Structure 1
């Protein structure tokens, strides 16, 4: 056990491993500091793997693509230089560059919502906010679409990449891109028994409903497609669980509540 700040530990452990799947990220504190810490960790692990031709899978996100527009986009879509999480594109580049040094490096761009089993980063955060404010807010107009994947499907994609992914590959790991921001807020509200209400981005920022970067992220479409992963990794047979149903009355329901 260790942290992303323990570069010597990351280096020695990576060197002794058969493969490395890197899923950690420091969500607390200043975002730019977390990105720099992540890049240093990536460099430490890939340097240790240089010449081994072992697999290194870096977990990135679709957030730095920014507003993708109304149609789900592929891995070729250019990132948005003004997106709140734009700095992570440099971390992707660090991982991909390792392919030129004898590492079978792969980048997974996870969607905004990796969910299931009562976990994820954003859903519990939204629930805590709605519980505190007694309202499940969303950014108007509310029809912005986002992507998501059940965590079990994501885990299976990592295992498939160990077998099939070529060096230097980038994959979108998403099974759905048709979930609206309003729909998520309404599901959170139904779970907690509070109303869902739309507010402008300006009011959300002024009232500090969420951190600024999070509010901006929910103000636009972020939709990706995963044809490449399905084709090259043979990633199929996805979970049949619906994200909104799971938020409303599934794994996100308090355990002491009788249905």
Structure 2
């Protein structure tokens, strides 16, 4: 297939693209900058210039493709409502372009916040109060002749080069001189290695039925206390608890998120696609040392 990939040069996209190419697919990646375009060209993909705000560019990319993988998202946690609306508009433009074609539209979502305190499964719907509208926007096209599927990512998609939530926690620990967790640290985050997650986007594009929800989860739940202990061990700083009411003061915006209990299962995904994660776990990855190299 010729697949149009948004977010193709991002953290997850830069693993999805080579996986697609290795499987024999053509890739056309959305690039908003010269640096992104060069990265895609070097990977062996074609380049389509534009960004999430350029809906005409998205429509053109989708029109000329056999399917779309939508990875791009504007991660602005200071204005997440508008980021969610931008994503909704982009997905709507892509879905309308693919309507009545039977072509795949694979849309990225996340597991966090949908079933706090429970193990989230693929058959549980997204939280309707979530400001991220990816799932509802995409699934609206499942009965409009689009082979829509949703890939929910774990809150930490880890690996060498990660610049997401875990590096943010490491930076806080460096600044504060302690590696902290919230409360007793028994709350859990699910995790997945980036290379394992990448495979699922390809499998969804190739074979997922309309309306399928896929969980990119390698580890169901890693205690946040253990994450803090790994950070402390590698930075050589003490590990301590922060009271829930002080989480925002200590961690800033990520404090409320690090306090959540958000485990998730991928049992249905593994059975449906024969997917078996092979990457190392989050704690082992932290102990490789690359997360603690100043860049």
One fold, TM greater than 0.5? yes
Q: Does 1:141 align with 2:184?
A: yes
Separation of aligned partners in 2, 1:48 and 1:79: 24
Residue 206 (structure 2) aligns with: 163
Task: Indicate which of 15, 19, 24 corresponds to 2:67.
Answer: 19
Task: Indicate which of 252, 256, 265 corresponds to 1:210.
Answer: 252
Residue 224 (structure 1) aligns with: 264
By relative contact order (CA 8 Å, sep 6+), the higher-ranking structure is 1
Residue 73 (structure 1) aligns with: 120
TM norm structure 2: 0.78
**Unaligned runs of at least 5 residues, structure 2:** 1-30, 33-50
- Where 2:102 maps in the other structure, the secondary structure is coil
Instruction: Give the 3 Å change call, closer, same or farther, for CA 149–62 of structure 1 in structure 2.
Output: same
Q: After TM superposition, which residue ranges in structure 1, 4 or more long, deviate above 3 angstroms?
A: 77-82
Task: Indicate which of 222, 225, 229 corresponds to 1:186.
Answer: 229
Q: Do the aligned residues in 1 keep the contact of 2:234 with 2:289 (CA within 8 Å)?
A: no
Residue 251 (structure 1) aligns with: 290
Aligned-pair distance for 1:137? 1.8
Q: Do the aligned residues in 2 keep the contact of 1:112 with 1:147 (CA within 8 Å)?
A: yes
Q: Does 1:93 align with 2:136?
A: yes
**Unaligned runs of at least 5 residues, structure 1:** none
- Where 1:249 maps in the other structure, the secondary structure is coil
Separation of aligned partners in 1, 2:84 and 2:259: 22
- Where 1:98 maps in the other structure, the secondary structure is coil
Aligned-pair distance for 1:190? 1.9
- Where 2:162 maps in the other structure, the secondary structure is coil
TM norm structure 1: 0.88
Instruction: Give the 3 Å change call, closer, same or farther, for CA 240–210 of structure 1 in structure 2.
Output: same
Residue 101 (structure 2) aligns with: 52
Residue 30 (structure 1) aligns with: 79
Aligned-pair distance for 1:21? 1.0
Q: Deviations over 1:55-102 (max 9, x none)?
A: 111100111314133xx33123355566xxx122x4301101111121
- For these two proteins, the number of residue pairs brought into alignment is 246
